[in-house]
Copies of this chain bind each other. A is one copy, B any other.
Amino acid sequence: MMIDGYVSQTGVGDVDTVARALSVMREASQLQRLLDAYFSSLNLSQLKFHILIVIDREPDMDSLRQSEINQRLDISKPVLHRTVGALLKDGLLVRRDDPEDSRAHRLALTDEGKTILAAILPGYFETISVFMEKQP
């Protein structure tokens, strides 16, 4: 890339390391786009998918609080709030009051949510696998 020429000028860091970092970022953003395209073709997004996954994968529980999802997903509270709202509206999640904390709610997958999650997974891994095969 055109940036490499700068490294020697600045004297900071090592050209190959910086080039590798830029390459990793480029590769990752390409895959991100492929996945975004896959999800948006199904009226979903990566975040919606991760929310469904993290609830589905929870051992011993079939529901999580918003705050628990927050801890697992590294996303801000407002974004999670908004996205959970969309999933509720689309009928993939249900929300019940938490019996132990009147501030909180518990979020669980609906049958439709489970069905859609199961239907999405093969294409998700397929997309990743196909992309990775093309990489050097």
Binding site for B on A (CB under 8 A): 2-3, 5-7, 9-14, 17-18, 20-22, 24-25, 27-29, 31-32, 53-54, 57, 121-122, 125-126, 128-129, 131-133
Q: Closest residue to A130 on the B side, CB-wise?
A: B13
Which one of B10, B53, B125 contacts A121 once the chains associate, using CB atoms below 8 Å?
B10
Task: Across the A-B interface, give the 9 residue pairs with the lowest CB-CB distance, nearest first.
Answer: A28-B28, A13-B129, A13-B125, A2-B57, A12-B125, A10-B122, A21-B128, A25-B28, A17-B132
Q: Is the CB of A128 within 8 A of B24?
A: no
Which one of B3, B9, B21, B125 contacts A53 once the chains associate, using CB atoms below 8 Å?
B3
A33 to chain B, nearest CB (A): 10
Copies of this chain assembled into the complex = 2
Known: A25-B32, A32-B25. A57 touches B5 (CB 8 A): yes
What residues of B have a CB within 8 angstroms of the CB of A7 in the complex? 125
Which one of B2, B21, B133 contacts A132 once the chains associate, using CB atoms below 8 Å?
B21
Apart from A24-B28, A25-B31, list 11 A-B contacts with CB within 8 A: A2-B53, A6-B121, A7-B125, A9-B121, A10-B125, A12-B122, A12-B126, A12-B129, A17-B132, A21-B131, A25-B28
Q: Is the CB of A125 within 8 A of B28?
A: no
